[in-house]
Amino acid sequence: MTKGFDFLHGSWNVVNRRLLDPLTGSDKWDEFPAVSTCRPFFGGNIDEVSFPTKGSAGLTLRTWDVEREHWAIYWISSRDGVLQAPVFGNFASDSEGEFYGWDEFEGRRVKVSYLWTVHSPDSATWRQGFSVDDGETWEINWVMELSR
Q: What is the DSSP string of 14-79?
A: EEEEEESSTTTT---EEEEEEEEEEEEETTEEEEEEEETTTTEEEEEEEEEETTTTEEEEEEEETT
pLDDT computed for residue 115 by the predictor: 97
pTM of the model: 0.93
pLDDT computed for residue 17 by the predictor: 98
**Closest by Cα among 94, 83, 136, 139 to 116:** 94
pLDDT computed for residue 3 by the predictor: 63
Per the prediction, the chain carries an average pLDDT of 95
Tell me the average pLDDT across 56-79: 95
Contact 13, 33 (CB under 8 A): yes
pLDDT computed for residue 1 by the predictor: 34
Q: How far apart are CA 92 and CA 134, in angstroms?
A: 21
pLDDT computed for residue 10 by the predictor: 97
Domains and CATH numbers, the chain: 6-147 (2.40.128.20)
pLDDT computed for residue 4 by the predictor: 84
Contact 141, 129 (CB under 8 A): yes
Contact 143, 127 (CB under 8 A): yes
Tell me the average pLDDT across 8-13: 97
- pLDDT bucket at 94, cuts 50 / 70 / 90: confident
